[in-house]
Amino acid sequence: MKLKERNTIFFALACFIILSTTWLFLNPTQPKEKHISEIKEGDYVIIKGYIQKMDVKRDKYRHVINISRIVINDGTGNLDVVAFSKTREELLNYTLSYNPMIKEGDYIEVKGKISLYNGKYEIILNNIDDFKLIEKKNFDRDIYLSPTPTNIYASKYGKKYHILESCPYGKG
């Protein structure tokens, strides 16, 4: 059978696709561990750092009901970590599964692709497996308000309790 030029090109293209797909399957892209100061847009990285800030939403009893952003710092810079939809819910559940919950000061690892949003680098979590607590450093108790009124007022800065709502010391 004689191959024509068109058939030869088609055959070469098919071989290229098969070989490149096989190579990618056998050699998946692995993230590289980097410092925040070394990252650039499009990098697939692993970043280890301390939680510097958590943007959370709380209910009226101070329970965390949503995490919109986590800022981590590795000593070389800051990086925003965000999650959406199902992954955001899983991140909230993972964070709350520790007692006390994961919070500022804890040492974590995140994995993902670096993107740029409003001039800042961020990692958008696509899977909860890309977020991991490495070491719990902040053991401050989680403080919640009682759902049942007690008519006892306390300042979060002091150790005294007050029984009058009008007392200025019980409002802080």
What is residue 52's predicted lDDT score, i.e. its pLDDT?
A: 96
Residue 45 lies in a domain: yes
Model confidence over 41-86: pLDDT tens digits?
999 999 999 999 999 999 998 899 999 999 999 999 999 999 999 9
Q: Say if residue 10 is in the same domain as residue 88.
A: no
Model confidence over 130-156: pLDDT tens digits?
999 999 999 998 877 777 777 776 666
What is residue 87's predicted lDDT score, i.e. its pLDDT?
A: 94
Q: Say if residue 25 is in the same domain as residue 55.
A: no
Q: Report the number of distinct structural domains present in the chain.
A: 2
Question: What mean pLDDT is predicted for residues 75-103?
Answer: 94
Q: Say if residue 47 is in the same domain as residue 130.
A: yes
Q: Say if residue 9 is in the same domain as residue 38.
A: no
Q: Say if residue 12 is in the same domain as residue 67.
A: no
Model confidence over 19-48: pLDDT tens digits?
877 766 666 578 899 999 999 999 999 999
Instruction: Name the DSSP class of 86.
Output: H
What is residue 127's predicted lDDT score, i.e. its pLDDT?
A: 92
Output the six-digit token pair for 144.
């919640």
Output the six-digit token pair for 75.
């000593």
Q: Say if residue 48 is in the same domain as residue 89.
A: yes
Q: Which domain holds residue 6?
A: 1-29
Q: Say if residue 74 is in the same domain as residue 130.
A: yes
3-state DSSP call for residue 96?
Answer: helix
Output the six-digit token pair for 149.
């009124």
Residue 90 lies in a domain: yes
Residue 158 lies in a domain: no
Q: Say if residue 53 is in the same domain as residue 124.
A: yes
Output the six-digit token pair for 107.
């040492």
Q: Say if residue 57 is in the same domain as residue 95.
A: yes
